Amino acid sequence: MSYALTLAARSAWNRRLTLGMTLIAFVLSVALLVGIERVRTDARDTFSRSVSGTDLVVGARASAVQLMLYAVFRIGDATNNMRWDSFRMLENHPQVAWAVPLSLGDSHRGFPVLGTNAGYFEHFRYGESRALVLAAGRRNKALFEAVIGAEVAERLGYGEGARIVLNHGAGEVSLAAHDDKPFAVVGILERTGTPVDRTVHVSLEAIEAIHLDWQGGARIPGFSIPAEFVSKFNLAPKQVTAALVGLKNRSAVFAVQRQVNGYPDEPLLAALPGVALDDLWQIVGVAEKTLLAISAMVVAVGLTGLVAVILAGLGERRRELAILRAVGARPRDIFALLTLEGLFVTVLGAVLGLLMLAVATVALGPLVELRYGVAIQPRVVSLEELQWLGMVVGVGLAASLVPGYRAYRLSLADGLMPRT
């Protein structure tokens, strides 16, 4: 009967303090569960749209996953570089249509700096074969010019003409700054939803130039080459971190991969992006499942607490149930009253959990994107998340049947005269 719903709501409100405490626990557990699911799907989305149209990623020998992580997603560091002549070999390989060098290792206020050449803007593709587009300005031509991703521009408030200083190493706070050789921002890329947004792009020669007076990660003491003289030095790159390779004919991919992997002059690794991503999901999948299992258990803990609180309150409510019976409530109304109360709190918890998550996404999303490169999409709820919530509410309903059934039994036994 519909009045049971009103009664359940008012009864729950009457005990809002105790129920509220369990509700908080439950809201947190729901936010955790849906949050993990959200980060998981968004991480996969971000990763799989980050590279497209590249047939091979080549770097010094490491694991394919590691190579993908630093070359494409800018996560972690390369352990070794590959020599420039190895890159030349790739470029001149008869099957190779294009090869783009990538030189990583420096950063600007936590954002990675990528040394590359004009080929990057020509050949790099993301999402569904989309090319990079400049939102403002132009590509870098002169030595100390940089093109920045949309996220860098937005977060740091940079426009064309901004002067930036690169740091040695990847940390957000780095003491070693290339402060004697500032760069000018000449172009800003349109947002892509990929690690490109977080990247500062400069030329390979610029990377060489800022490291002229450096050795082994530190400035050579008492030795400094002013910016205006660097063009007098040979700035031809000696090594790069990795290369993106496009083939003339995709069917040759395994043959080229074998040749690169067996290159006699230097130990190299050629990885197929799709295969490497699958490997990554295999590895991450275990952690994901573990996290989801843990958060599901946290939800179960929250629900158990809720049921315990409702059950504990039942003892002092026997009088109330007898009154309801006296005015004509059937035992099944009593059952509905207690079950609805649990369900009510569960649904409220699910809604508040989502709300909390929405707030957290807005508040923490930029930080997550900056640190981990995963763009968390602000949204109310996705279909998958709704399924999770449906499950949570379903389990909550099942759990609420316990106090419902107990009250049903009690009211049958008590009749109009509760023995307390």
Partner 1 sequence: MGELPVIRIRELVFRWPGATAACLDIPAFEAPRGEHLFLYGPSGSGKSTLLGLLGGVLLPEHGALALLGTELSGLAAPARDRFRADHVGYIFQQFNLIPYLGVVDNVLLAVRFSSRRRERVMARGATPFDEACRLLDRLGMTGDLLHREAVRLSVGQQQRVAAARALIGGPEIIIADEPTSAMDAGLQSVFVDLLLTEAAAAGATVIFVSHDHRLAAGFPRQLALADINRAIAVGEAA
What is the nearest approach in angstroms of partner 1 to the Cβ of residue 351?
Answer: 22
The answer to whether residue 312 forms part of the interface with partner 1 (CB under 8 A) is no
Give me the least distance between CB of 19 and partner 1, in Å please.
12
Among 23, 325, 338, 388, binds partner 1 (CB under 8 A): 325
Phi–psi pair at 98, nearest 5 degrees: -155, 155
d(CA 155, CA 93) in angstroms, rounded, equals 41
Residue 371-410 contact track with partner 1, rule CB under 8 A, x = bound: ----------------------------------------
**Residue that is written with structure tokens 């109330």 in the block:** 320
Instruction: Check: CB of residue 349 under 8 Å from CB of residue 24.
Output: no
Pick the binder of partner 1 from 228, 328, 378, 419 (CB under 8 A): 328
Among 17, 175, 286, 327, binds partner 1 (CB under 8 A): 327
CA dihedral 276, 281, 284, 287 (to 10 degrees): -160
Task: Write the interaction track for partner 1 spanning residues 1-40; mark x where CB under 8 A is met and - where it is not.
Answer: x-x---x--xx-xx--------------------------
Q: How far is the CB of 339 from partner 1 (least distance, A)?
A: 18
Q: Which of 88, 258, 289, 319 binds partner 1 (CB under 8 A)?
A: 319
Residue 121 is encoded by which pair of tokens?
């803007």
CB 349 within 8 A of CB 32: no
CB count in 10 Å sphere of residue 218: 10
Q: Smallest distance, Å, CB 414 to partner 1?
A: 9
The yes or no reply on residue 231 touching partner 1 (CB under 8 A) is no
Binding segment for partner 1 (CB under 8 A), chosen from 156-164, 187-195, 329-337, 399-407, is 329-337
Q: Which position among 119, 182, 313, 331 is part of the footprint of partner 1 (CB under 8 A)?
A: 331
Are 187 and 95 in contact, with CB atoms under 8 Å apart?
A: no
Question: In degrees, to the nearest 5, what angle opens at C-alpha 293 toward C-alphas 292 and 294?
Answer: 90
Out of 260, 329, 374, 389, the only residue in the binding site for partner 1 (CB under 8 A) is 329
Q: What angle do CA 131, 134, 135 make, to 5 degrees?
A: 125
51 in Cβ contact with 273 (< 8 Å) = yes
- Do 182 and 228 meet the contact criterion of CB atoms below 8 Å apart? no
333-352 binders of partner 1 (CB under 8 A): 333
Q: How far is the CB of 14 from partner 1 (least distance, A)?
A: 3
Q: Which of 133, 136, 255, 326 binds partner 1 (CB under 8 A)?
A: 326
Cα 414 to Cα 420: distance, rounded to the nearest angstrom: 9
Q: Which residue reads 């130990």 in tokens?
A: 267
Shortest reach from residue 320's CB to partner 1, in Å:
6
Element (H, E) at 400: helix 383-414
- The residues that bridge with 96 in the sheet, in sequence order, are 247
Comparing CA positions, the residue from 26, 41, 171 lying closest to residue 105 is 171
Contacts with partner 1 in 51-70 (CB under 8 A)?
none
Judged by CB under 8 A, the stretch of 91-99, 139-147, 255-263, 327-335 that binds partner 1 is 327-335
Binding residues (CB under 8 A) for partner 1: these are 1, 3, 7, 10-11, 13-14, 319-320, 322-333, 415-417
